[in-house]
Structures are given as C-alpha cells and as structure tokens.
Amino acid sequence: MTNYYETTFIRIRGRENALAWKMAQSPLCTHLYIAPGNAGSSRFGTNVPIGVNDFAAIRAFVIEKSITMVVVGPEDPLVKGIRNFFEADPELNTILLIGPDSAGAQLEGSKDFSKLFMQKNNIPTAAYATFTKATLQEGYLFLETLKPPYVLKADGLAAGKGVLILHDLVVAQQELKLMLEEGKFGEAGSKVVIEEFLDGIEVSVFVLSDGKNYVILPEAKDYKRIGEGDTGLNTGGMGAVSPVPFVDMPFMKKVEERIIIPTVNGLQEAGIVYKGFIFIGLMCVKGEPFVIEYNARMGDPETEVVIPRLKNDLVELFIAVANQSLNKVKIETDSRTAVTTMLVSGGYPEDYEKGQVITGLENCEESLLFHAGTEMKEGKIITSGGRVLAITSFGNSIEEAAEKSTRNATKINYEKKYFRKDIGQDLMKKVTN
Ligand code: AMP
Ligand code: GLY
C-alpha cells in the first residue's frame, strides 16, 4: 500500500463536506482536492472549479495532479458512467474510484430496474407495476385496484422530485397522464412505477460494497418535510439523527438477511462489480423492513451524522473497497448520538434568494459545520443554495445533541434563515443510548 493518496471529489454539498472533513483526517491522505468545492470545503483541501459531469476536465485534472483516488459524491455522474469512463481509459484505469458503474447505478437511476431487481432477488418491497405512454389506460385501471394514497414514481432521476403521493384517485390518474403524455419530469417520467403505499417509519441504512464483501455503516433517520411535525413540501432533507432508537439488533438482522445479503449477491449474479456506497431507504412496517428505494451514493444530510459517528479511517475503508478486502475490516462507531440540523434559505424548496451574507459562524461551539449552499465572495461567506449549512452535534441522548444543534442554528444569521427546531423529537420518547 502506498501512503501517497491524492483525492478529488466531484460536486460539493453538506455530504461531500462531511466526507472531505473525514478523509482529511487520514494520515493516508496527503492532498485533497474538492471539485467544485464551496466556502466550507477549503478548510479540508483545495477547491477546484470543475463541474460534476465534466468528465473531460476531471480526466485532465487527475492526470495533471497524479491523483490516485476519486470519490464520487452525487448520483448524476455515476448514472452517466464515470466509473465506466475511468475503466475504459488506460491513463485512468488504475485510479481507485469510489462509486458503482452505470449498470450498478441503475439501482438509483431507474425505479423500474430497482423494482425488478428486488422482485428477482425476493427483497421485500411494495407491490408495483410499471406503465408507459402506450399502457396509460392500463395504468388508470391499475390505480382503481389500489387503495389511497397512491404512489407514483418517475422511473429516472428527477432531482428528488419524481415521487408523488396522492390521496385522490382522479388526481392520481391526471398526474399519471401528465407524466406519461405531457412530459412532466421529462424523459425521467416516460416510464412510471405505481406502487402500494407502505405505512410505517422510515430509516436509512448505508452499506459500503467492494463487489464481493460489504460493511454496514451506522443507520440514520432523515427529516424530509420543510415544516415542523413533518408537514409541508418535501425537501432534500432538513435534518438527520443517528443512531435511530427503534433500529435494534433483531431489526438489523432482518435487514441484513432479507435485504443487504440478497442485494450484494443479486448484484454479483447480474455481473455487476459494485464498488461504492449503497444507500437503502427502508420503511419499517410493524417491525418488518421493506425497501422504498436504493441510492448509489451516500445520503444528504444523513452523511453528516453517519460519517462523524464512524471511527474507522475512511481512506483505509476506500482502499479496502479497491482491494476487495472489506471482509477484513471491522466497523467501529461512536456510541453517542449525532443530530444534524439544516439551515436553509427562506422559501426553499420553492423559489429562494441567493447571495445573503452569512454571519456568526465563529460563535458556534461544540458542533461541526458542514457547508452546503455557500460560496466565498469578496471575503464574505454568502448563501448560494437552498440548503445552506448542516450543523452536526453529539450528545448522550437525542435531546442533548439536538439542543446543541438548535442553539448554534440560532447563532448563525442571514436574511430569511429557516430551520426546523424539532429534528429527532419524534424519536425522543423512545429509549436513547
Ligand atoms: P423515494 O424518492 O423513492 O425515496 O421516495 C420519496 C419519499 O416518498 C420516500 O422517502 C417516502 O417518504 C415516500 N415513499 C416512497 N415510496 C413509498 C411507498 N411505497 N409508501 C409510502 N411512502 C413512500
Ligand atoms: N436525504 C435523502 C437523500 O440523500 O436522497
């Protein structure tokens, strides 16, 4: 093993900030480049202005800097085949890349593919059927056989907006038509998965796979709605908690036996050497786990609680992925609870303003700050996105960790700042560690 690892990221948000923070702590990481980076990531390495899907510019940069490891943060370049691009190029194919090839990324890139994959491998998930423009009438009839609420999913990537949960049959039929005939969600909606609604509590499980072996990272619960008490529009995620009190050993045993093992085996049987993260979105229905979705990357803001709880050297884990030696790795976790609170721009997830000056960052105590939509301009840190900053705190209980994150959220200021003060509250009645 060489102790010289240069690393680059492709796209930066809170998730990539947390990964960069962790990798920069590794003695194996001599230099970290973050593409494109933001006002926070320059604390951990060098920002480079390269876009996430600009494979040619990424190629030129990794060759110029003799980069030895590339960690891909978001799904887009994975679905577009960045691993295939590296593997096909004699100048890039020895570089260690974290993230699946385009076939593996279909777990996230196509809902229809992932449902078929689950069906084939007997992985518990909601009953479903897939429709196209040619089968719209069958889609209307299928909806009539279901009980509300109706779950409609655009097949392809739709920036987290492609899932509709509707209570009215007529509205569901109209939306189906809009997706299949009127191009709502564009090409991503040219196929639509309609599935049974699962009533339960959501939890996310994270697996790192080397194509043969896997390790399970700490689980997390994400808070997707904009409003307190889980109300209002869906967002990318307003906060996260790890560990999740109801995820006990018996539940995780079910998840591993019924979901993780068949997933890893199913990928191998499909001829996919999956080297990267598998994010499994689960619904716990009366204690039984069902898969809601797979993602081919880590979650955001889940990463901001999962990675701080990980005690292992992340670069060492990534090297084990490349060497297919994850079977020799033991995951060590911090037993404390981590809570992330997201500061967002007022108006998000709908229209919001950018360019607000952020102050008070230096007043935060006892929390980690992971920048998401921030930018440095004329010496000032300004907002540049809907989700602005993730504040992660540790505590011996959810209450203690959440209180620290909330306290620091009030110390940071910018015009129209918004955050949820109830992250983790639904879980607090349960026993914490
Ligand atoms: P997805 O993009 O597939 O994760 O879906 C977005 C959100 O919709 C999930 O996080 C769930 O809250 C919800 N959802 C998706 N599928 C179902 C389902 N079959 N039953 C209930 N809720 C669902
Ligand atoms: N927090 C959900 C996601 O990253 O997809």
Asked if the structure places residue 316 within a domain, the reply is: no
d(CA 403, CA 421): 9
Domain count, the chain: 2
Question: Across residues 179-206, what is the average pLDDT?
Answer: 91
Q: Which residues contact 162 (CB under 8 A, 6 or more apart)?
A: 111, 153, 154, 156, 185, 188, 189
Q: Are 345 and 352 within 8 A, CB to CB?
A: yes
Structure confidence at residue 190 (pLDDT): 84
Q: Are residues 74 and 156 in the same domain?
A: no
Sign of CA dihedral 48, 27, 278, 390: negative
Q: Which of 7-21, 124-138, 323-337 comes out lowest in average pLDDT?
A: 7-21
| 184 against 22, higher pLDDT | 22
Domain boundary among 161, 178, 195: 195
Nearest CA to ligand 1 atom 12: 202
Give the pLDDT of residue 8: 58
Residue of 301, 294, 329 whose CA lies nearest to 314: 329
Domain for residue 405, yes or no? no
Cα(109) to centroid(ligand 2), Å: 14
CB 215 within 8 A of CB 317: yes
- Distance from C-alpha of 145 to C-alpha of 138, rounded to nearest angstrom: 11
CATH number of residue 162's parent domain: 3.30.1490.20
Task: Provide the domain limits for residue 157.
Answer: 128-195
Does ligand 2 lie within 6 Å of residue 304's CB atom? no
| 197 residue type, one letter | F
Q: Is pLDDT of 430 > 90?
A: no
Q: Which of 195, 219, 243 is the last residue of a domain?
A: 195
Residues 89 and 37 in one domain: yes
Q: How confident is the model at residue 12 (pLDDT cuts 50, 70, 90)?
A: low
Section 329-354 average pLDDT: 96
At 95 the pLDDT is 95
CA distance 432 to 398: 7
Domain-embedded: residue 374? no
Whether 176 shows a pLDDT value over 80: the answer reads yes
CATH number at residue 12: 3.40.50.20
Residue 3, pLDDT > 50, answer no
124 in contact with ligand 2, CB cutoff 6 A: no
Ligand 2 centre and the CA of 300: distance in Å? 5
75 Cβ below 6 A of ligand 2: no
Asked whether residue 96 falls in the same domain as residue 11, the answer is yes
Which of 74-88, 175-189, 338-352, 369-383 shows the lowest mean pLDDT across its residues?
175-189
Question: Does 172 reside within a domain?
Answer: yes
pLDDT of residue 360: 96
Q: Is residue 78 part of a domain?
A: yes
Residue 217 lies in a domain: no
Q: What pLDDT was estimated at residue 206?
A: 98
CA atoms of 374 and 358, how far apart (whole Å): 9
Task: Read off the pLDDT of each residue in 5-15 and give the average, rounded to a whole number.
Answer: 66
Same structural domain for residues 39 and 85? Answer: yes
In a domain, 254, yes or no: no
139 and 84 together in one domain:
no
pLDDT tens sequence across 363-398: 999 999 999 999 999 999 999 999 999 999 999 999
Strand (E) positions, 214-296?
214-216, 221-222, 225-227, 231-234, 239-242, 275-285, 288-295
Segment 182-190 mean pLDDT: 85
User: Mean of the pLDDT values across residues 404-421?
Assistant: 97
Contact 240, 223 (CB under 8 A): yes
Residue 72 lies in a domain: yes
